[in-house]
Amino acid sequence: MRIAEVIGTVTLSRCHPAVQGYRWIISVPFSLKALKNQTAPDGEDIVVLDELGAGQGQKIGVSEGVEASMPFHPHKKPLDAYCACILDSVTVQ
Amino acid sequence: MQLANVVGHATATMKHASMTGWRLLVVQPLTTEAKPDGEPQLAVDSLGAGVGHRVLICNDGAGTRQLLGHKNSPVRWFVMGICD
């Protein structure tokens, strides 16, 4: 899971039937440098399926790859990023 | 499996049910030259690794689901061992 900051949301007018009705957020992953210096995230933004209700500016844990669709197993969904947790605190030294 | 440095820890109230009760560490995977390899990752830990420790992390999702005892866990990385 990468740590990312929520910067926005996406809505879809038409979508794959398996992912209808879900909430989508845009998030930007943090590099080690950005986490250490507590600056803005500096990765490439990704769209993430969100079931927890993450809000603008919050830090989240983004699960990627096969694990992104595991919460829906045995149902198959075409996902590559899933918001697994909303982080209350991230301490990096 | 990859070597990593533990650089911090994280807490979360709202999370996938499978992660309840597990320590969440911020780990930085390393290259063979011990340079940072990509972005830091969140890993679950049952061994009690702390900040500054060099650990062995595993990205076997099936192994993690077995460890957490949850068939639907979205977690991929877990701390497999603490290096001497």
* pLDDT one-digit tens code per residue, A50-61: 999 999 999 999
Residue A77 lies in a domain: yes
Residue type, position A92, single letter: V
Whose tokens are 């957020």? That residue is A25
Total of domains in chain B: 1
Contact B39 A89 (CB under 8 A): no
Res. A6: pLDDT tops 90: yes
CATH of the domain at B22: 2.40.50.220
Whose tokens are 């595991």? That residue is A70
Structural domain that includes position B14: 2-82
* pLDDT one-digit tens code per residue, B6-18: 999 999 999 999 9
Residue A68 lies in a domain: yes
- DSSP conformation class of B11: E
Cα(B73)–Cα(B51) distance, rounded to whole angstroms?
A: 25
Structural domain that includes position A39: 2-87
Cα(A18)–Cα(A6) distance, rounded to whole angstroms?
A: 24
Give the minimum alpha-carbon distance from A66 to chain B in angstroms, rounded to a whole number.
8
Residue B54 tokens, joined = 């060099």
Per residue in A1-34, is it b (16+ CB within 10 Å) or e — as a string?
A: bbbbbbeeeeeeeeeeeeeeeeebbbbbbbbbeb
Residue B84 tokens, joined = 């001497």
Total of domains in chain A: 1
Give the minimum alpha-carbon distance from A84 to chain B in angstroms, rounded to a whole number.
5
pLDDT recorded at residue A44: 96
Tell me what the mean pLDDT of segment A69-86 comes to. Answer: 96
**Which residues of B are less than 8 Å from A67 in CB distance?**
61, 73-76
Tell me what the mean pLDDT of segment B36-58 comes to. Answer: 96
Residue A92 lies in a domain: no
Contact A88 B11 (CB under 8 A): yes
* Average pLDDT, rounded, for chain B: 96
Q: Give the rounded percent of residues in chain B with a pLDDT score beyond 90.
A: 100
Residue A44 lies in a domain: yes
CATH of the domain at A15: 2.40.50.220
Cα(B40)–Cα(B33) distance, rounded to whole angstroms?
A: 17
Tell me what the mean pLDDT of segment A27-48 comes to. Answer: 96
Using alpha carbons, list the distances in angstroms from residue A47 to A80, A83, B60, B79.
Answer: 9, 10, 24, 27
Residue A93 lies in a domain: no
pLDDT band for position A93 (cuts 50, 70, 90) = confident
pLDDT recorded at residue B22: 96
Give yes or no for a contact between B82 and B53, defined as CB atoms under 8 angstroms apart: yes
pLDDT recorded at residue B5: 97
Residue A13 lies in a domain: yes
Which chain A residues touch B if contact means CB-CB below 8 Å?
1-3, 29-32, 35-36, 43, 52-54, 61, 63-68, 70-73, 82, 84-93
- Furthest CA-CA distance within chain B: 37
